[in-house]
A and B are shown apart, each in its own frame.
Chain A
C-alpha cells in the first residue's frame, strides 16, 4: 500500500518536473524571438480569459477535445493507438450533416438535433469499429489503419461538399449550405457557448472514468492494455472487448463531430478538415494525462486556453509551446521508464 502511494507521488512529481522543464524551454524560445516570456504569458492568459467572449471560445474549444479524450481513454487503456480518431470525428460530422439535411423541416428542430446526434454517434462508432476490425481481423496496425481511414473520411467530405451536398449553383470547398439558426445548439445571450456541448464533454469523461474504475469492462480493457496475452489466458474475451473500445471511442469522436456542426458558434455546415485537429489534440491530452481520467480535465482545458489565448499572440507560438509541453512530459516519462524501473519483489 505504502509503496504504491510513494510511487504515485513520485510519478506525479516527475510529471510536474517535465511540465516545468517544458515551460522553461518555451521561455527560452520566446526570449530567442525577442518576446518577454512574462508578457507572452500575460497575453496568453489575457487572450483566453479577458472577456466573457474569450472564455466562451475557450469552452467551445474544450468541448470537442473533452469528447475525443473521453473516447481515447478507452482505447489507450486497451493499449491501442487510435490515431483514426480524426476520421471518426469527420464521419460523425458527415452523418450529422446527412441526418440534418434529411430531417430539417420534416421534424421539429429539437427532434432533428437529437436524431442527428444519434446519427453522428453511430457514424463515428462504425468508423471506429472499422479501424478495430482492420486491427483484429486484418492484422493492420491501428496507427496505419487509422491514418488510412482519416484520409478516406476527408476525401469523402470533399466529395460530398463539392458534389451531392454542394451549395446549389456554386459548390466550393468552403462547405455545404449552412443550417438555419433553429438547428444550432442554443447559447447564452452574450456568452457564445452552449451548455449542452460542454456538459456533453464533461458527461463523457465522467462516464468513462466510472467505466474504467468500477466496471468489469473497464478492468478487462486495462488488463488487455497491460498484457493482451495474459488477459487472454485468464479468459478475458479480448477480441470483443477491443472492438467495443474502438466502437465507443468512435462514438465519442462522432459526438465531437456533431458538436462541430451544430455547436453554438461553429460554421454550421460540413466542410473539409472539419475535425480541425481536435482528435490529435485528444491523443496528446490522454498521453500527457497518462490515461488517468481525472488529469484529462485540467490538461485539456489548458490546451484549449492556449489555443484560444494565442489568437492574440503570434499564432505559430501556440503550436511551439504545445509541442514543447508534450515533448517535455513524454521525455520525463521516458526517463522514468529508463532509470526508475518498477521495483521488483525480492
Chain B
C-alpha cells in the first residue's frame, strides 16, 4: 500500500509539531523517519495512524484520500502503529491481548485465533507462548506480540516508533529480520528513529524531519555527516561560555549504578567542582533523568556512592539533599515544578519552608513582587502560575530556588522558550555559577550544550561518554548522540 501525506499541519497551542509535512512511502520498502526529539516524527505518525487529527492536510492511501479519525479506523484502512511504550494489558494472556480489538463476532473463536497466532509467529520466527501472561514478557516480546496482532488485523502499513529503545541486541536482530521479511512481502514499513546506525543498517529511503518540517530526503547509503547536518541544522559551535575557575569538588559520584524498569546507567564515576557546568546530552530517555534524580536524592542508586561537598548522602531521603544545598528543576514546568491552581505568592510562601503556623500573606506578596522584579517575570503575586507563559514559568521556578545552592540540577531549562527568554535564563544561571553553584543540565539542543557547558556527558541507552565542550563540534556531538562510538 502506498502512503502519501500532503501538507500535514498539527499545532499544540503555540508549538508547531508538524508544519506542512509532505511524505511519500512506497510499498515494499522500509522507510526511515529520522529526526531529533521534538522534530515532529511521533506526531506525524500518530496523525497517519488515527491517534491524532491533523489541523490541515491530506492522507492518501494507494492514491485515494482518506480520513482516519481513530486508531480503529486506521486499522480498518490497513494502517497499524507500534508505540514507543507497548499499550497492552499486562494482566491478560498473550492470546487475550492478541484477540483484543478484533472486530469479529461477539463470541471469540479462540481456537482459530490461537492457530493464527502460532502461524504468524512461525512465519516471523517469533516465539510467543499463547497462554503466558503478558506481564511475564520482555519489552521485545511484547513488541512481537503487537506486530503479529496488527498483521492479523490486516495491517498493510506498519509504523514502528523508536522500536529498539528498550530491547536486547538479539531481539533487535530478530525484529529487523522480521521487518525485512514483511517488506519483502510487499508491506509498507515506516521506521521512526533517531539512531543513525539502525537507519543505515535497515532502511532504504530516509526522510529527515527537523522542527516540524522536512529537512531533507535521501536514499541510503549516505554519509552520517550529512544526516547529522540535516537533523541538527548548520549551527557552528563557538564555545561562548566564559569558563569559571572551578573550585572545590561539590558532587562526587563513585561507580554509581541507577536504574528504572527499562534502563540502567552503570558504574558512572564523576567529579563536579563548584562553578562547573555539565551538559547532559542524548536522546530523551537515555539515562540523563536517572542521573539527575540520583543526584537529587529522588532515586536510590542500586550501587555506588553519592557525595555532596564531601558528605556521603547515598540512600538518604530527598530532604537531606535539599538541606545540603541541592535543587532539582524538573522538565515538566507545570505539575512537576509548579503547582497549577496556586499563585506566585503562594509558591513563594511554600518554597520558604517556614516553621511558623500562620502565613504572613503580606510578606509573601512583598517577597513575590521582589522576585518578579529581579527575575523579570511577567505576572503579579496573585497570578496563578498556569496563566504564565513558558518562559515566565521557568523564571518563576528559578525565582523559587533558595539563594545559595551547591548543586543545581535542571531538565531542559530552556525547552520551548524563545531566544530572549533563553538568554535571560542562562544569564541567571551564569550568575549562580559565578557564586560557586555547580550545574548539571539535560538538554536536547546541541548548540545550548556546546555553548553553555564546560563538559558534556553523552548518554546512549544508559551508557555514558564524556566530551570536552570546547573542542567538540556539533557534528561530532550529533553523531555521538546517534550512537556512534558506543559499541
Mark contacts of B325-366 with chain A using CB atoms, 8 A cut-off: 1 yes-contact digit, 0 otherwise.
000101000011111111000110111011011110100000
Q: Is A344 engaged at the interface, CB distance under 8 Å to the other chain?
A: yes
Mark contacts of B308-319 with chain A using CB atoms, 8 A cut-off: 1 yes-contact digit, 0 otherwise.
000000000011
Chain A residues lying within 8 Å of B328, measured Cβ to Cβ, are: 233
Chain A residues lying within 8 Å of B387, measured Cβ to Cβ, are: 3, 342-345
With contacts A226-B340, A234-B400 known, is A215 near B358, CB below 8 A?
Answer: yes
Chain B residues lying within 8 Å of A219, measured Cβ to Cβ, are: 346, 349-350, 359
Chain A residues lying within 8 Å of B400, measured Cβ to Cβ, are: 234
Interface of chain A residues 221 through 277 with chain B (CB within 8 A): 222-223, 226-227, 229-237
Q: Is A139 engaged at the interface, CB distance under 8 Å to the other chain?
A: no
Minimum distance in angstroms from A241 CB to a CB of chain B: 12
> Given the complex of chains A and B, what is the CA–CA distance between A220 and B346 in angstroms?
9
Choose one: A214, A215, A230; the contact of B337 (CB below 8 Å).
Answer: A230
Q: Is B471 engaged at the interface, CB distance under 8 Å to the other chain?
A: no
Q: Is B388 engaged at the interface, CB distance under 8 Å to the other chain?
A: yes
> Given the complex of chains A and B, what is the CA–CA distance between A306 and B196 in angstroms?
70
Residue of B nearest to A7 (CB): B384
> Given the complex of chains A and B, what is the CA–CA distance between A264 and B383 in angstroms?
48
Interface of chain A residues 185 through 220 with chain B (CB within 8 A): 214-217, 219-220
Interface of chain B residues 172 through 213 with chain A (CB within 8 A): none
Choose one: A215, A234, A342; the contact of B357 (CB below 8 Å).
Answer: A215
Q: Is A106 engaged at the interface, CB distance under 8 Å to the other chain?
A: no
Interface of chain B residues 269 through 323 with chain A (CB within 8 A): 298, 318-319, 322
Chain A residues lying within 8 Å of B336, measured Cβ to Cβ, are: 227, 229-230, 233
> Given the complex of chains A and B, what is the CA–CA distance between A301 and B380 in angstroms?
37
Choose one: B319, B382, B386; the contact of A344 (CB below 8 Å).
Answer: B386
Contact size range, A = 20 to 34
The answer to whether A4 touches B358 (Cβ under 8 A) is no
Minimum distance in angstroms from A89 CB to a CB of chain B: 28
The answer to whether B342 touches A345 (Cβ under 8 A) is no
With contacts A342-B387, A343-B387 known, is A216 near B339, CB below 8 A?
Answer: no
Q: Is B38 engaged at the interface, CB distance under 8 Å to the other chain?
A: no
Chain A residues lying within 8 Å of B78, measured Cβ to Cβ, are: none
Q: Is B389 engaged at the interface, CB distance under 8 Å to the other chain?
A: yes
The answer to whether B359 touches A214 (Cβ under 8 A) is yes
With contacts A226-B339, A231-B339 known, is A345 near B354, CB below 8 A?
Answer: no
The answer to whether A4 touches B339 (Cβ under 8 A) is no
Mark contacts of A1-21 with chain B using CB atoms, 8 A cut-off: 1 yes-contact digit, 0 otherwise.
101100000000000000000
Chain A residues lying within 8 Å of B353, measured Cβ to Cβ, are: 235
Residue of B nearest to A218 (CB): B359
Q: Is B390 engaged at the interface, CB distance under 8 Å to the other chain?
A: yes
Chain A residues lying within 8 Å of B354, measured Cβ to Cβ, are: 216
Q: Is B14 engaged at the interface, CB distance under 8 Å to the other chain?
A: yes
Minimum distance in angstroms from B2 CB to a CB of chain A: 39
Q: Is A346 engaged at the interface, CB distance under 8 Å to the other chain?
A: yes
Chain B residues lying within 8 Å of A229, measured Cβ to Cβ, are: 335-336
The answer to whether B389 touches A346 (Cβ under 8 A) is yes
B interface SS class: loop
> Given the complex of chains A and B, what is the CA–CA distance between A216 and B335 in angstroms?
20
Choose one: B337, B357, B383; the contact of A216 (CB below 8 Å).
Answer: B357
Choose one: A217, A226, A235, A342; the contact of B351 (CB below 8 Å).
Answer: A235
> Given the complex of chains A and B, what is the CA–CA distance between A216 and B356 in angstroms?
7
With contacts A236-B350, A343-B387 known, is A223 near B339, CB below 8 A?
Answer: yes
> Given the complex of chains A and B, what is the CA–CA distance between A345 and B334 in angstroms?
12
Mark contacts of B386-420 with chain A using CB atoms, 8 A cut-off: 1 yes-contact digit, 0 otherwise.
11111011000000100000000000000000000
The answer to whether B330 touches A234 (Cβ under 8 A) is no
Minimum distance in angstroms from A21 CB to a CB of chain B: 26
Choose one: B322, B330, B361; the contact of A235 (CB below 8 Å).
Answer: B322
With contacts A223-B350, A344-B13, A345-B392 known, is A230 near B335, CB below 8 A?
Answer: yes
> Given the complex of chains A and B, what is the CA–CA distance between A235 and B320 in angstroms?
10
Minimum distance in angstroms from A334 CB to a CB of chain B: 17
Chain A residues lying within 8 Å of B350, measured Cβ to Cβ, are: 219-220, 223, 231, 234, 236
> Given the complex of chains A and B, what is the CA–CA distance between A1 and B390 in angstroms?
19
The answer to whether A4 touches B335 (Cβ under 8 A) is no
Minimum distance in angstroms from A6 CB to a CB of chain B: 11
Choose one: B322, B339, B359, B383; the contact of A230 (CB below 8 Å).
Answer: B339
The answer to whether A214 touches B338 (Cβ under 8 A) is no
Minimum distance in angstroms from A43 CB to a CB of chain B: 42
> Given the complex of chains A and B, what is the CA–CA distance between A220 and B349 in angstroms?
9
Mark contacts of A151-168 with chain B using CB atoms, 8 A cut-off: 1 yes-contact digit, 0 otherwise.
000000000000000000
The answer to whether A216 touches B359 (Cβ under 8 A) is yes
Minimum distance in angstroms from B359 CB to a CB of chain A: 6
> Given the complex of chains A and B, what is the CA–CA distance between A345 and B158 in angstroms?
38
Minimum distance in angstroms from B49 CB to a CB of chain A: 25
> Given the complex of chains A and B, what is the CA–CA distance between A222 and B343 in angstroms?
12
> Given the complex of chains A and B, what is the CA–CA distance between A74 and B95 in angstroms?
47
Residue of A nearest to B388 (CB): A345
Minimum distance in angstroms from A126 CB to a CB of chain B: 24
Chain B residues lying within 8 Å of A236, measured Cβ to Cβ, are: 350
Chain B residues lying within 8 Å of A215, measured Cβ to Cβ, are: 357-359
Chain B residues lying within 8 Å of A344, measured Cβ to Cβ, are: 13, 386-387
Chain B residues lying within 8 Å of A4, measured Cβ to Cβ, are: 382-384
Chain A residues lying within 8 Å of B330, measured Cβ to Cβ, are: 233
Minimum distance in angstroms from A5 CB to a CB of chain B: 10
Chain A residues lying within 8 Å of B342, measured Cβ to Cβ, are: 222-223, 226
Minimum distance in angstroms from A239 CB to a CB of chain B: 10
Interface of chain B residues 98 through 153 with chain A (CB within 8 A): none
Minimum distance in angstroms from B360 CB to a CB of chain A: 9
Minimum distance in angstroms from B384 CB to a CB of chain A: 7
Chain A residues lying within 8 Å of B361, measured Cβ to Cβ, are: 214
The answer to whether B389 touches A345 (Cβ under 8 A) is yes
Shortest 7 CB-CB distances between A and B: which pairs? Answer: A345-B389, A226-B341, A226-B339, A345-B388, A227-B339, A230-B339, A223-B339
Q: Can you name 29 A-B residue pairings with CB atoms under 8 Å? A: A1-B380, A1-B383, A4-B383, A4-B384, A214-B358, A214-B359, A215-B359, A216-B354, A216-B357, A216-B359, A217-B357, A222-B341, A226-B339, A226-B340, A227-B340, A229-B336, A230-B337, A231-B350, A232-B318, A233-B337, A235-B322, A235-B353, A342-B384, A343-B387, A344-B13, A344-B386, A345-B386, A345-B389, A345-B393
Given contacts A230-B338, A231-B350, A232-B318, 13 further A-B contacts (CB under 8 A): A4-B382, A4-B383, A222-B341, A229-B335, A230-B335, A230-B339, A233-B336, A235-B351, A343-B387, A345-B387, A345-B390, A345-B393, A346-B14
- Residues in chain B within 8 A of chain A (CB atoms): 13-14, 298, 318-319, 322, 328, 330, 335-342, 346-347, 349-351, 353-354, 356-359, 361, 380, 382-384, 386-390, 392-393, 400
